[in-house]
Structure 1
Amino acid sequence: MSAPPVAPSSVRPTSGVARRATWAAWALIPTAMLASVLGLAFSGAAGPTDLADAGAIVRWGRPLLTVVWQLSASVTLGGLALLMFALPPGGAASAGERRRAPRAAVDGAGWRIASRAVMVAGPVWAGALVLDLVFGYATVAGRSIGGEGFGDELVFYLTELSTGRAALVAAVLAAVASIACVAVAGYGTTVIAAVLSMSVLIPIATSGHASGSAYHELGMSGMFGHLLFAAVWVGGLMVLCLSAPRLGRDLASAVHRYSAVALWCFVGVGVSGAANAWLRLGGWDGFFGSYGALLLVKIAIFVGLGAIGYLHRVRTVPQLKPRPDGGAPRAFWRLAAVEVLVMGAVMGVAVALADTGPPVPQEAQENLSPAEELSQQPVPPPPTLGRWFTQGTPDLLFAYLAVTLAVVYLTWVLRLRRRGDTWPVTRTVVWLVGCAGFAYVNLGGAAVYGRILFSAHMVQHMSMVMVLPILFVIGAPVTLALRALEGRTDGSRGPREWLLAVVHSRWARFASHPVIAAVNFAGSMIVFYFTPLFELALTTHLGHIAMVVHFSLAGYVFVNVLVGVDPGPRRPIYPLRLVLLFATMAFHAFFGIAIISMGTLLAADYFGALGLPWGVDALADQETGGEITWGIGEVPSLALAIGVAIMWARSDQREAKRVDRAADRNSGAELEAYNAMMQRMAKGESREG
């Protein structure tokens, strides 16, 4: 029997090692600054320039200011991650929580410390980014701060130049996120603060080193992922060490959960870092300069952090057990203190590396063709059947997502099998095929030619909205997750609790209503293709990501309403499902015919200005796209109709078997009662006659 909820424990560990872990978290700040200064001194990036020199204060002050905002961003994002996934809130369980599951005794002090750290770090992050606006312009213009006309020039920089606008947007978003951070009080406000805080990294990623390279989208995705994973990893450990003396009985569970998050962050930092290095180095010769030398130092420290994390997972973390006094093995806190200081060193080196010019120039390319300028990628050779399967475009976000979906699904299946449960092999195979299809559609030939040919774009789009959702729905990921993931009893939320919260939320119920799902599935295509949203998705990476996310989810929700087995939507009766499906089939036919018969181009300013070197009739290609829309839309819809009919027949068979079993149990009492009722009705009619 679990212990009843208790108030926060008054017993606090006074271990000197735990106290030193707290001091190590504070020491990370000067460690990062010192590493940054040493790196800048080595590379000479902070040295005076020959033409326009902003002065020593700007040259040395901006990197140190970058350390400040990156550390405050790390504490903000890492603390929010701990609040969302690792730390239990304090206080007694509510009556509803006690009915759902017995709640283990918790201290809750870690939650309070993490929330306070977020409340402080969020505004510090916003203030540092505001100062970075001024130092950033001074660096770009080579002007000392406060000179004559500096203010007017700064306004022009922030409103007219892309780099300045990105910095201004980041500062404004950080200010809004800081308000949400100060208001953190529960899971709802924590989610809002986390979403707003992650959005701050988007404009920062657009102005990174790779923003002007040939693979602009890969550079953006790599920079965003690198910043996010590193911030959660470093900030989570900092907040954990800051709250070390007061974690109490929450220590063991918090450390185990953070260890799982840190492993994902380690992989994410490694993958995104490799992509960024590939864009900047240009080959093995790039390691022989000052940039390459700093990069090698960063890689060595990163490998050392991986070794420390491995020692944690195999030695110190397994020794942690829930204890009333919150004690922990001294080796754990010693290793944690060393790890957090090493993290400070690698962050300082990273800041110095960002200010050092890479071997491959990252400025905007010149003399680009119209197709390269608009599509922001090299023009591929003319499409052939073979090239549809050999051409590819690097996109770290979609590649990481596809691999993660496959790995997590297989992990859940293996967890069930180790427990002695089974999971249908067909569902696993279908899910993996769906992951491979998602990767091809967003990384293969469909993605390469989909940016310059309307017909190829419709292959990509209709695959996302009609074909892949069927595979993912058959895989039943929600059902598998609820069976494989363990629930928590201490009031915190893990993946299972968050999944249930999303599935049973009011927004999910609204979006999965059969009529709403059908209208969103069909109507959003009209809104997208006949408004500027289509061109926005073609010309911007964020618009393209939004398109993929929206239509993938819209297709998944609609198909799940029709043939899914996962919990969540209130599915209509089978005749109504067929009505909805036939209505969408008619819509796809109408939509395809409308595109075929159009005499003008969709996104004419884009497709009409590409000027592809191998010659394309854009209007004829659009007609082909309409035919593809009609064909790809009808074939999966027919398969769904067959699936609904089969499910309807099986439902009738199950109902008939249920009635037969009930009749066997009560010797036909229901049938006899029904016959008796009919006899009474017949006698009543005869008397009336």
Structure 2
Amino acid sequence: MPRVVRIAGPAALVAVSFLALLVALAIGGGAAPQLLEDPGAVVRYGLPASTMLVNLGASGMIGAIGLTLFVFPAGSKAYARSLDVAAASAAVFTVAAALTGFFSYLSVTARAFSLDDAFGQGLGQFLTQIALGQAWLQTTLMGAAVTVLCFAVRNQTALFFVGLFAVASLWPMAQQGHAAGVNGHDAAITALGLHIIFAAAWLGGLVVIALLSRQIETGALVEVVSRYSSVALVCFVVVAASGYVSAELRVGTLDRLLTPYGVLVLVKVGALLALGVIGAIHRRFVIARLATSGRRRHFWWLVVAELGFMGIATGFAAALARTATPVPETVPPEQTAAQILTGEPLPPEPVFPQLLGQWNVDLIWVLVCGFGIVFYLAGVIRLRRRGDRWPWYRPVLWVAGMLLLFFVTNGPLNVYQDILFSAHMFGHMTLSMMVPLLLVPAGPVTLALRAIRKRDDGSRGMREWILLAVHSRVATVIANPVVAGVLFATSLVAFYYTPLFRWATVDHLGHEWMIVHFLIVGYLFVQALIGIDPVPYKLPYPFRLLLLLATMAFHAFFGLALMEGDGLLLADWFGATGRDWGPSAIDDQRNGGGIAWSIGEIPTFILALVVAVQWSRSDKKETKRRDRNADRTHEAELGAYNAMLGKLAERDRDEGDAR
């Protein structure tokens, strides 16, 4: 590829981003002078510009780390250069975040910059005591840490955790976006967080490929671009879905699309659709032509065009953050107790069948369930196309488990879990027992290891990462049946009788952690009992039944303790929601204890039944194995056993004669 074209791609991205930012600020009025206490043109334009640099730095950081983890072979020149790009991008991200925090202080206070003590003290208080300043301070410090780690760490496994930390550094930014008013706050944060993370991976990956093209041979480039294309497709879906949710919350109705904010959204949607078309061209035509002819010219011109449209989307995204939304973001002067606590209005009394109409969509779990179903079925189809057998009931169980997970995380339970302790407990028990009971027998790990192609070039794909995780020391410990049973049982006490319960109830991030924790702990426990996926150690069947009974007995004692208790857990929350329907808070908590005690009976019976069936089948298989061995060896084993008995009898006779 000519040097000018290789440089033109990233240059087009930066140039178009700044040009789009200026155009979007003019359309939306994001840099218009303020009527009262205007901070000045430098701050009005500098704040969105620095925010855009934060987004570009985050893209290079996330994209480069992602390529080292999933695309480039470890030890290759592209691998090392990609980490250099990640470190440089993280440095840009850090400086831009610090600059954004500084401009944010000037914008909020409308103070002129000075070197006196009063200005420094005010800036220090803003960064340490105000939520907006704390978010940018956290972002800056985390970005600095990622910069150092990208220089210091070269081990691919350790880089995985560096990548997680880099993704976590974007979370404070997500919490500072438009809150979409008092209602839909959690949905707005989730959508913005997903949008930032996956847009960064999408944009950054393409930029790094363009920058490092000289270090990649044409044959390897085809493989690199194919892998990136698969990641880009996932990113496109997530960015589109999260963008839609954000627009729905902040625009509201179709007529508001004619507002300045709505126009910016429409332009950004147009850029996204253009990127989707270019991505489709890449997947269907350009990659195949690159593989057959080896000519890079058409491919790289498409890359330049794609980066140009990404620049438009990046500039308009930065301007949208400074543009007033059609949906008012002011907090109503009068709020109910439920709105103060949960950020949502008090739902109506749960009465069937109206209860089924109550939904609170959590985009994270919509995407998890959707991708989970699509990828599992794609694996099954791949196996059957090459003639491999996969039992029909496993896909049925997997889809049912994913649909149940979707219902729990988005349906009525997600609406009422912050209002009723009983709803929270029902969701907990479903996540930790019923969902794993459907997912574990589907054997997702076994399917992935059989369906995903093995890599031979030294890079790690999903198959290699799954194998590494399954055989890691951590997995060996937590997958041990006894450890899994202890975790499953003690998680109840550790969660409900520690500050974790408050964090999971009050904080949206804690709520997401709670779902993940219950799923993992329940999955490990069910896997230890009836799982078909490979694990380091499996208990004999009698001990599996003992483990099941002991764990369920602990659940029953916990439920009885709640049923007979007089103290209200999280009294300043569940006792202060202001609901005028249903049982009292303490009675509802006792109902939750009854759910913890009784609902476990059904999955316990099913688990015991499955263990018994597996035990019986195992005995039958062992009997058949012995019969086949006897037929093959002409009863050699039985003959040897009879000969041994004969020798023992002869020895006894000899000893008797000697006496």
The answer, yes or no, to whether TM exceeds 0.5 is yes
Quick one: distance in 2 between partners of 1:210 and 1:379? 19
Q: Does 1:305 align with 2:265?
A: no
Which residue of 235, 244, 255 maps to 2:213? 244
Map of 1:59 onto structure 2: 44
1:362: Cα distance to partner? Answer: 2.6
> Partner of 1:540 in structure 2?
507
The one-character-per-residue Cα deviations of 1:463-512 (angstroms, maximum 9, x if unpaired) are 00111101000111111111111111001011111111111111111110
Which residue in the other structure is 1:155 paired with?
124
Distance across 2 between alignment mates of 1:341 and 1:356: 23
Q: What pairs with 1:108-123 in structure 2 (closer than 5 Å)?
A: 108-123=76-91
Aligned partner letter, 1:335: L
Partner of 2:440: 473
Q: Post-superposition shift, 1:245? A: 2.0
**1:18-167 superposed matches below 5 A:** 19-90=4-75, 108-146=76-114, 149-167=118-136
Does residue 641 of the first structure (1) align with residue 611 of the second (2)? no
> In 1, are the aligned partners of 2:180 and 2:327 still within 8 Å (CA)?
no
Shift, 1:343, TM fit? 1.1
Distance 1:377 1:145 in 2: 40
**Equivalent of 1:296 in 245, 266, 271:** 266
**1:299 CA drift (Å):** 1.2
Aligned to 2:141: 172
Cα distance in 2 for partners of 1:688, 1:372 equals 92
The residue that corresponds to 2:548 in the other structure is 581
How far does residue 160 in structure 1 lie from its aligned partner after superposition?
2.5
Which segments of 5 or more consecutive residues in structure 1 lack a partner in the other structure? 1-14, 91-107
Match of 1:93 in 2: none
1:421 and 1:582, CA in 2 relative to 1: closer, same or farther beyond 3 A?
Answer: same
2:181–2:329: 8 Å Cα contact kept in structure 1? yes
Give 1:213 shift: 3.6
Q: In the TM superposition, what whole-angstrom CA distance separates every residue of 1:667-687 from its partner, at most 9, and x where no partner exists?
A: 001001011111222222333
Q: Give, in whole Å, the separation in 1 of the partners of 2:444 and 2:642.
A: 46
1:23 maps to a residue whose letter is: A
Matches within 5 A, 1:147-296: 149-210=118-179, 212-248=181-217, 249-296=219-266
> Partner letter of residue 317 of structure 1?
I
Query: Sequence identity, in percent?
Result: 42
Taking structure 1 as reference, are residues 420 and 349 closer, same or farther at Cα in structure 2, changes over 3 Å only? Answer: same
Residues 119 and 184 in structure 1, CA contact (< 8 A), matched pair in contact too = no
Write the distance in 1 (CA, Å) between the matches of 2:450 and 2:47. 50
8 Å contact from structure 1 (residues 75, 118) kept in 2: yes
Deviations 1:207-228 (A, max 9, x none): 1112644111110110011001
Q: 1:367 to 1:166 in 2, by over 3 A?
A: farther
Provide the C-alpha distance between the structure 2 equivalents of 1:361 and 1:173, rounded to a whole number of angstroms: 32
1:511 maps to: 478
1:276-675 equivalences in 2 (<5 Å): 276-321=246-291, 327-614=294-581, 616-675=583-642
CA RMSD in angstroms comes to 1.6
Deviation at 1:294, TM superposition (A): 1.3
Return closer, same or farther for 1:179/1:667 CA change in 2, 3 Å cut-off.
Answer: same
1:372 offset after TM fit, Å? 1.8
Change (3 A) 1:464 1:312: same
Q: Which amino acid aligns with 2:378?
A: T
Q: What is the CA–CA distance in structure 1 between the aligned matches of 2:419 and 2:144, rounded to whole Å?
A: 38
- When structure 1 is superposed on structure 2, of 607-616 and 374-383 the one drifting more is 607-616
In 1, Cα distance between equivalents of 2:154 and 2:563: 54
Judge which range, 360-369 or 222-231, deviates more.
360-369
Q: Secondary structure at the match of 2:588?
A: helix
TM-score by length of 1: 0.92
The whole-number CA distance in structure 2 between the counterparts of 1:69 and 1:165 is: 16
Residue 39 of structure 2 contacts residue 106 of structure 2 at CA under 8 Å; is this kept in 1?
yes
Q: Deviations over 1:106-144 (max 9, x none)?
A: xx3322221110121112211211221111111122223
User: Given the superposition, is the C-alpha separation of residues 677 and 210 from structure 1 closer, same or farther in structure 2, using an over 3 Å criterion?
Assistant: same
Shift of 1:514: 1.2
What letter is aligned with 2:610? G
Instruction: Between 330-339 and 34-43, report the one with greater CA deviation.
Output: 34-43
Question: What is the identity, as a one-letter code, of the residue corresponding to 2:91?
Answer: P
Q: Distance in 2 between matches of 1:541 and 1:396?
A: 13
Equivalent pair of 1:387/1:445 in contact (CA under 8 Å): no
Moved more, 274-283 or 143-152: 143-152
Structure 2: state its 5+ residue gaps. none
Contact 2:222 2:290 in 1 (8 A): yes
- Note the C-alpha offset of 1:390: 1.8
Relative to 1, partners in 2 of residues 1:26 and 1:193: Cα closer, same or farther, differing over 3 Å? farther
Farther-moved stretch of structure 1 (70-79 vs 41-50): 41-50
Judge conservation of contact 2:53–2:96 (CA < 8 Å) in 1.
Answer: yes
Cα 1:365–1:531 change in 2 (3 A) is farther
**Structure 1 residue 365, shift from structure 2 partner:** 4.4
**Corresponding letter in the other structure for 1:88:** P
User: Given that residues 79 and 115 in structure 1 are in contact (C-alpha distance below 8 angstroms), is that contact kept between their aligned partners in structure 2?
Assistant: yes
The CA deviation string for residues 236-266 of structure 1, in whole angstroms up to 9 with x for no partner, is 0000000112211421110110010111111
Deviation at 1:387, TM superposition (A): 3.2
The one-letter code of the counterpart of 1:304 is A
Match of 2:24, SS state, is helix
The structural deviation recorded for 1:644 is 0.9
Q: Kindly indicate whether the alpha-carbon contact (under 8 Å) linking 2:418 and 2:574 is maintained by their aligned counterparts in 1.
A: no
Contact 1:58 1:144 in 2 (8 A): no
Q: Is the 8 A contact 2:43 2:107 kept in 1?
A: yes
Deviation at 1:571, TM superposition (A): 0.8
SS at match of 1:472: helix
Q: Quote how far apart the aligned CAs of 1:433 are.
A: 0.7
TM-score for the superposition, normalised by structure 2: 0.96
> 1:682 and 1:374 mapped to 2: Cα distance?
83
Determine helix, strand or coil for the equivalent of 2:42.
Answer: helix
Q: For 2:651 and 2:38, how far apart are their aligned partners in 1? A: 106
2:467 & 2:344 partners in 1: Cα distance?
41
Whichever residue aligns with residue 33 of structure 1, its letter is F
| Equivalent residues, number | 654
Deviation at 1:174, TM superposition (A): 2.0
Residues 567 and 615 of structure 1, relative CA distance in 2, 3 Å threshold: closer
Within 2, Cα distance between the matches of 1:524 and 1:683? 61
Instruction: Say whether the 8 Å CA contact 2:361–2:409 is kept in structure 1.
Output: no
Instruction: Give 1:417's aligned amino acid.
Output: R
